[in-house]
Structure 1
Amino acid sequence: MSKEFFNDLFESFNNKNILIVGDVMIDSYLWGDVNRISPEAPVPILSGIGREDRLGGAANVALNIQALGANPILCSVIGDDLRSHDFFSLLDNQKLSSEGIVRCENRMTTVKTRVISQQQHLLRVDEEITSPIPEVTEAKILGQFHTVIENNAIDAIIFEDYDKGVITPRVIKRIVSIANELGIPTLVDPKKRNYIDYQNVTFFKPNFKEFTEGCKLDLKKGPSDELVQAACKFQEDQNIDILMVTLSEYGVFISKKGGANYIVPAEIRNIADVSGAGDTVISVATLCLLQKLDLNKIARVSNMAGGLVCEESGVVPINKKLLLEECLVKITD
């Protein structure tokens, strides 16, 4: 592919309006050094602590969309608690809209705290409520969805599902129905709880574990005829146009319903942290799909992006310039 092709492609991402529906959270980090063991119990002592809060979950998808030049709008539920103020501050700092965010007094704002020493994760603490949101909150988030759709020309909708309870079967069915009526593509980064509720969507991106568990399959990881057969059956049953299964060290499988399928080999990387890679993959795939790239290139560009963020410590969005440079070097056909 020519330099002009990729320059034009990445330029075309600018100003697309992407609505992201899903579980937002705060990724909180405690950084320090471990030099001794506690005399009180056989556990390491972290000293010289630094603290940092970042946007996580569906909000990290928003950061990736923003980093690629497009305009993200979040639609989600958080608690009416102290940490909700921190979440709104993080949105403000990143110049992200809060118009689709609903506060729920009976929930807490999800916070994942990672304890890290010398780029090694020692511990993660999750503060969360993962039960499905009640009907009254479903009605509120669907109301916010309608407001966002009415006030913005939405180019695509991403479901970023972390099984934290914001996305329910009712929310999925209603949003997909409206999106299909309006001709808006729907893309899904699923988890187990709602797996089979995603029907009639445009693009579905589980990882291998999510795919096998969601479909109740016992498959050996990696490319195989069994994977192709299972993928084709799942696409037909769920009426999914494009299925992309990430296979980590084996690359990516991508398939068009009733059409072609490809295996894209993995990129060789110095992996530091895989957290948030799926957020990056679905973000890049969304914008590539909007520009009508073929299946092979959607998989290659988004897989490359996921690999790039894995070289960074902690959850970080994609660097658009670095991704463009890699595309220019590595994708030549």
Structure 2
Amino acid sequence: MQNKEKRHFTDIIDSFKGKEIIVIGDIMLDQFVKGSVSRISPEAPVPVVYVEEEDFIAGGAGNVAVNLAVLGAKPKILSVIGKDLKGTILKGYLKDKGVDVSALVTDDNRPTTQKVRIIAERQQVVRVDRESKERICPPIAKECMKNFKKAVKTAKGVVMSDYGKGMLSDHNIEEIINICRAKNIPVCVDPKIDNFLKYKRITCMTPNTKEAWEGMGLPPKKDNAAIINLGKKILKTLDAESILITRSAEGMTLFEKGAKPKVTTIKATAKEVYDVTGAGDTVISVLTLALACGASLPDAAYISNKAAGIVVAKLGTATATVEEIKEVL
């Protein structure tokens, strides 16, 4: 990379600081219980885990918000938690990470989504999920939209982080997109299959290859030509400005709207891949933030690809810092 080009990307990254980004979607508390095994339970053929360490982190849309905070942005999380200890822990964790939690809504009749992972000898033994996948009720949805309309007045970008837990529904998806378009701010989507075709007229969607095929209801194919045709089909179906399909070891492919769609494939940059957990959250965080700073779609995708390469080289749910991204440039 030439010095002039590197300076261009560095200027974009430097402008991340202080940008207000709204993250709206499904939030969850990830709990990791780690320990060792020395015997099998006499009650059932399962290992007995002696707990040595226990950690709590924000998952789902919460991890997107934390990614943004690490990058120097000012993220505001808009989601629903329960009136329970899990919600209190989650809210406290986010505040400690620099995320604005003032737009969180508490639902007395809904539990905070939690995923408990039991890990023994570096091997996940079991995962326990506590959650409701029902759509949020109308009064709660109305309160969420009220908070969104207030927050979007000063926001520079919006991330819709859909984990299929009921936060995002037909009506609020359409309303959020319409508001963003009216204000001319980027709105980017990390989709789940149920709502895939509802995200019309957005700035960008960032499905992985599996989500892209399933979202369109098509059987997966591995050849590059099929991926190119798929991306163009999604772009046209959603009438989106762009689609960014993340393709693991093959990098990512950007599709931009036009009379003849522009297709750009960006090669993966990670030299070693230890853990892909959270890489999608990093991609959409960096992409949206770069677009909010005025970057072009190809430049935003390029920087997000560099950030993803950093994250997959780390163990566990990780984030990329501004300094790390600059270094790999």
**Bin of the TM-score, shorter chain as denominator length:** over 0.9
Partner of 2:15: 12
Distance 1:7 1:294 in 2: 14
Runs (4+) of structure 1 exceeding 6 A deviation are: none
Count of residue pairs brought into register by the alignment: 324
Structure 2 residue 147 is the aligned partner of structure 1 residue 144: yes
| CA contact 2:286–2:307 (8 Å) conserved in 1 | yes
Work out whether 1:231 is the aligned partner of 2:235: no
Partner of 2:206: 205
C-alpha contact 2:177 2:201 (8 A) present in aligned 1: yes
SS in 2 for 1:113: strand
Moved more, 192-201 or 264-273: 264-273
What SS does structure 1 have at the residue aligned with 2:101? Answer: strand
> In the alignment, is residue 252 of structure 1 matched against residue 256 of structure 2?
no
Query: C-alpha separation between the residues in 2 aligned to 1:239 and 1:158?
Result: 18
Q: Is the 8 A contact 2:26 2:162 kept in 1?
A: yes
Counterpart Cα distance in 2 of 1:91 and 1:295: 29
| Contact residue 36 and residue 121 of structure 2 kept, 8 A | yes
Aligned to 2:316: 314
The CA deviation at 1:231 is 1.9
Q: How big is the shift at 1:238?
A: 1.3
Amino acid at match of 2:84: D
Read off the aligned partner of 1:79 and give its amino acid letter: G
How far, CA to CA, are the matches of 1:324 and 1:53 in structure 2?
Answer: 29
Residue 94 (str. 1) matches residue 97 (str. 2): yes
> CA 1:199 to 1:148, structure 2 compared with 1: closer, same or farther past 3 Å?
same
Which residue does the alignment assign to 1:219?
220
For residue 154 of structure 1, give the secondary structure of its aligned residue in structure 2: coil
What does 1:79-90 align with in structure 2 at a 5 Å threshold?
79-90=82-93
Amino acid at match of 2:186: P
Task: State the AA in 1 paired with 2:242.
Answer: I
Note the C-alpha offset of 1:93.
Answer: 1.7
TM-score (norm 1): 0.92
For 2:299 and 2:178, locate their aligned partners in 1 and report how far apart those are by CA, in whole Å: 28
- Written as runs of structure 1 = structure 2, the 5 A alignment for 1:162-173 is 162-173=163-174
CA–CA distance in 1 between the matches of 2:96 and 2:305?
29
Given that residues 221 and 247 in structure 1 are in contact (C-alpha distance below 8 angstroms), is that contact kept between their aligned partners in structure 2? no
In the alignment, which residue of structure 1 is the partner of 2:325?
323
Q: Deviations over 1:251-274 (max 9, x none)?
A: 211110123111222234433322
Q: Is the 8 A contact 1:32 1:48 kept in 2?
A: yes
2:209/2:245 contact within 8 Å kept? yes
Asked whether the 8 Å contact 2:19–2:292 carries over to 1, the reply is no
CA displacement 1:150-200 (0-9 Å, x = unmatched): 4xx110110000001101111101111111111111100000111111011
SS state at 2:231 partner: helix
Q: Aligned partners of 2:275, 2:220: CA distance in 1, in Å?
A: 26
1:73 aligns with 2:65: no
Aligned identity (percent) is 34
Deviates more, 1:106-115 or 1:88-97: 88-97
Distance in 1 (CA, whole Å) between partners of 2:181 and 2:228 is: 27
Residue equivalent to 2:42: 39
Structure 1 range deviating more: 296-305 or 106-115: 296-305
3-state SS of the aligned residue for 1:56?
strand
Displacement of 1:292: 4.1
State how far apart, in whole Å, the 1-side matches of 2:122 and 2:46 are. Answer: 18
For the residues of structure 1 that align with 2:325 and 2:47, how far apart are their CA atoms? Answer: 38
RMSD, aligned α-carbons? 1.7
Instruction: Judge which range, 284-293 or 129-138, deviates more.
Output: 284-293
- Alpha carbons of 1:70 and 1:210: their partners in 2 closer, same or farther (altered >3 Å)? same
8 Å CA contact 2:69, 2:97 repeated in 1: no
**Any conservation in 1 of the 2:94–2:101 contact (CA below 8 Å)?**
yes
